[in-house]
Amino acid sequence: MPTAAAPAYLGRDFKTASPALRFGLLLPIWTTRQDQEREVNRRAEARSREGDEVKDLLRRGMDDAIAQLQSASRHPLPKLWKKNDADAREAWKNVCALSDADVDRMKSWARRQSAIAAAAAAASQGHVLTLDTLSTAPFSTGLGNEHPLENGFTFLNPYGLPCLPGSGVKGVLRQAARELASGEWGEGHGWTDDNITHLFGLETGDGGTIHLRGSLMFWDVLPQLAGNRLQVEVMTPHQSHYYQQRRDPRSGNSTAPHDSGQPNPIKFLTVPAGSRFTFHVLCDVPFLRRKAPELAHDDHWKKILEAAFRHAFEWLGFGAKTAVGYGVMMEDPQARQRRDADRAALEAQAAAAEQKARLESMSPADREWEQAQSTLSQFQVAFAKAKAAGAFKPGGDFNRDRLAFMKTAQSWSEPRGRAAAAQLLEQSATRDWGRPSNRERWAELQAVIAQLKGST
């Protein structure tokens, strides 16, 4: 098998290395002496004229056979430490699967990024847009990066995991905004050339000197891979003779493109469909408020940016090969609901912690009065709902709520709470509505009201 260009002391088992390392430095595609000998023996076993020729070469020794086959005009033998195209396809099997450590890093990155976005939203009063999406087609990016197989991929170092850079997200969204602002796609959703400049910035080309900073910051996106593995796709150019500018051996002219060219399958890495992409966009609202107050007001920038995202999902795509359907995504509504629920829970926890700290700073009497106000408010709401529902039901839910409220109010020592409870109980038990029909219950209620009043 071909080997990786790595020192021998590292061994040959790189399953625990990151996908970036297994696809880059540790990709086993380089020809070794064992590969050459195995290929020579395989050819010698063939029952053909070529097989007989290789057998004759082997009689003079393996070194002579390898040297002769390396200089052959047809199917030359790969040279030592040269790329082994014949066996490179085996290397893909070592790249796609993520190790347990890779999966942990992938999930930890997503949690940390979400936590940072939530903290930034809290600190800047919600000036962060987060969109959870699902890919409906394979996604690839960085195919033009240098790589021995001539089809690179973008990984985020030092994590070594697939990545959609924030600069790429910004480029797609800027193009989506331009298309919406052009008016050629129907409703512009508030996009204008000025809004594009305020949010994305401006840099004039051709030696221009106008450079304006935008208000938006796009974070890198680390996809959560479906099945915890990458996927191999194949593209098959049928006119490689034209793309590589080969010349006709008879005329010496460049070969024109035609449909009878030799197909050349080329493999490349992708993120499989069904993977989750979470986009985070942070807005410098104080800066935006100085440049375009109407965009900063009520976070209007979020509304028009969401429209640009929807346009990009439907018509543009992200990453490479979008013209043939790669990089298509859709918003995940269930993920948004879960995120909203988590955000509400965090806000409730923060409010509870703030309330607890405020109560601890109060005097005992003020603290009891604060807590009594909450109970009084709850009972008042229950009383209003029961009265609005119709006639009083002596054995109904409100009667049980009132009995529980009576016991709670009797445990209070703070005069303001006891007085308010007595007044509320009197209002809930008049001749027109709420008076218990049982004499003992009515007497008990009157006694409790008198007790609460007498302590004030």
Q: How many CB atoms lie within 10 A of CB 253?
A: 8
User: Which residues 6+ apart lie within 8 Å of 303 measured at CB?
Assistant: 189, 190
Whole-number pLDDT of residue 190: 94
Beta bridge partners, 233, equal 268
pLDDT value at 354 more than 50: yes
Identify the CA nearest to 134 among candidates 268, 303, 333: 333
CB distance 174 to 200 below 8 Å: yes
Task: Give the pLDDT mean for 221-238.
Answer: 91
Helix (H), strand (E) counts: the chain: 16, 10
Estimate the share of the chain in helix, then strand, then coil, as percent rounded to the nearest 5.
50, 10, 35
Report DSSP letters for 396-451, one per residue: SHHHHHHHHHHHHHHT---HHHHHHHHHHHHHTSBTTTB--SSHHHHHHHHHHHHH
- pLDDT above 90 coverage of the chain, percent: 52
d(CA 94, CA 140): 18
Report DSSP letters for 124-149, one per residue: TTS-EEEEEEEESS-B---TTS--TT
β-bridge pairing 128-135 and 329-331:
antiparallel
Whole-number pLDDT of residue 44: 92
Q: How far is CA 381 from CA 285, 386, 426, 431, in A?
A: 40, 9, 15, 20
Who has greater pLDDT, 367 or 223? 223
- ∠ Cα 99 266 239 (to 5°): 165
Report DSSP letters for 237-275, one per residue: -S-HHHHTT-B-TTT-SBPPP-TTSPP--EEEEEBPTT-
pLDDT value at 249 more than 60: no
User: Which residues 6+ apart lie within 8 Å of 205 measured at CB?
Assistant: none
Q: Which two tokens stand for residue 22?
A: 């297994």
DSSP 46: S
d(CA 36, CA 2): 10
Task: Give the pLDDT mean for 325-348.
Answer: 82
- Does residue 207 come out as left (phi exceeding 0), alpha (psi in the -120 to 50 range) or beta? left
* Residue whose token pair is 């082997």: 58
103-156, pLDDT tens digit by residue?
Answer: 999 999 999 998 899 888 878 777 999 999 999 999 999 999 988 878 899 999
Work out the mean pLDDT of the chain and round it to a whole number.
Answer: 88
pLDDT value at 335 more than 50: yes
d(CA 123, CA 105): 26
Who has greater pLDDT, 30 or 312? 312
Q: In the chain, where are the structural domains located? A: 8-94, 100-230+271-343, 363-454
Phi, psi of 83 (to 5 degrees): -60, 130
3 state DSSP class of 215: coil
Who has greater pLDDT, 173 or 344? 173
Identify the CA nearest to 199 among candidates 208, 207, 190: 190
Whole-number pLDDT of residue 456: 46
3 state DSSP class of 356: helix
* Residue whose token pair is 């061994």: 11
Identify the CA nearest to 273 among candidates 323, 319, 333: 319
Identify the CA nearest to 445 among candidates 84, 420, 430, 455: 430
Q: How many CB atoms lie within 10 A of CB 132?
A: 18
Task: Give the pLDDT mean for 382-406.
Answer: 89
Whole-number pLDDT of residue 159: 93
3 state DSSP class of 194: helix
User: Which residues 6+ apart lie within 8 Å of 155 measured at CB?
Assistant: 18, 19, 20, 23, 24, 142, 161, 162, 163
Residue 352 — very low, low, confident or very high, per pLDDT cuts 50/70/90? confident
Q: How far apart are the first and last CA of the chain?
A: 93
CB distance 277 to 221 below 8 Å: yes
d(CA 306, CA 130): 10
Whole-number pLDDT of residue 423: 92
32-65, pLDDT tens digit by residue?
Answer: 899 899 989 999 999 998 899 999 999 999 999 9
3 state DSSP class of 81: coil
